[in-house]
Amino acid sequence: MRRALTLAANGPARGPHARVGCVLLDAHGEVVAEGWHRGAGTAHAEVDALSHLAPGEAAGLTAVVTLEPCNHWGRTGPCSEALVEAGIGRVVFSVEDPGEHSGGGKERLRDAGIPVEEGLLADEVEEFMRRWLVAARLQRPFVTVKWASTLDGRAAADDGTSQWITGAAARQHVHEQRAAHDAILVGTGTLLADDPSLTARGDGGELLADQPVPVVVGERAVPEGSRILQHPHPLIEERTRDLSAVLADLFAREIRSVFVEGGPTIASEFIRRGLVDDYLIYLAPTLVGGSRLALGDIGVETLDEARRLRVTAVTPLGDDLAIVARNQSGSSS
């Protein structure tokens, strides 16, 4: 299963499809073939592995797969059916497919008389597939809220200046995180105040190969000549303050991960509504005092109502720290 997980990591991390790996074993536990999913419209991991064998060679083999074989016709056929037709003798998978239409593969396999075991290395695979699984289970994109602040929790000085709280290493790390998400989202307040381009760029200012789709949320129009209109991807304007509706629309557009990089207002609203899956905070060893807090009202009136988080990673970036945290329960805040 760990080999299948390694194979899965070869697939594209962005987009609507899960990264899945498959290993086919003979009766002695020796690897006969292996495969992984390479993206939309390509063979799924099980079919990719089977493609390396001649007709009949898969009979009696054990298929080890990170995700339950799918059971529906999409851009490709159902993997459960492919395994049945190939004569696979046993299937071991880690995590159940939460898809309303794609799930049910294990039942199809068992109905065909194929023994199925599930749950092997489930914790490791769940963590590896976390973004995709959260999106599939909640039917909305995985949401990362990012902000940069001083040690005393300020996102800007009292005169509004905020460039730059963090150093060059932290700022480059932000661009890498932008590139790792399907979309980047800001509110109209940030757009009008900062005129951001919302692109992912390298050390020399060049555009990275992967670019997040720009999304602006709010009722005010995007002014002509805004830098965001020069983005490599067309701008998505969400003329509403209903964040749940925004996420539902983005999910329908096959966006599965969103990087929220607006100011305190929109970040606080995502938190207040319980729509955050990961927090990414860049902490600078600086003090400025004043009233420009990194967050505003998040619906907490007493300490008993505080959002309790669990830190999952701390990365030094020059003099700064990048801190990743999630809700203590592991679900959204």
Query: What separation in angstroms does the CA of 276 have from each of 146, 190, 332?
Result: 10, 19, 5
What would the DSSP string read from start to end of 5-52? HHHHTTS-SSSSS---EEEEE-TTS-EEEEEE--STTSPPHHHHHHTT
How far, in Å, CA of 76 to CA of 73, rounded?
6
List the catalytic residue out of 30, 34, 46, 238.
46
How far, in Å, CA of 112 to CA of 109, rounded?
5
> Cα-flanking dihedrals φ and ψ of residue 76, to 5°?
-130, 175
Tell how strand 213-217 and strand 257-260 pair up. unpaired
Q: How far, rounded to the nearest angstrom, does the alpha carbon of residue 175 sit from its chain's CA centroid?
A: 15
Short-list 14, 203, 6, CA closest to 22: 6
Cβ pair 324, 312 in contact under 8 A: yes
How far, in Å, CA of 320 to CA of 272, rounded?
27
User: What is residue 62's three-state secondary structure?
Assistant: strand
Alpha helices by DSSP H, listed for 90-222, are: 105-111, 122-128, 130-138, 168-179, 188-194
Quick check: is 46 catalytic?
yes
The single-letter DSSP state of residue 166 is: S
The single-letter DSSP state of residue 213 is: E
How far, in Å, CA of 19 to CA of 216, rounded?
28
User: What is residue 111's three-state secondary structure?
Assistant: helix
CA atoms within 13 A on the CB side of 323: 16
Residues with catalytic function:
46
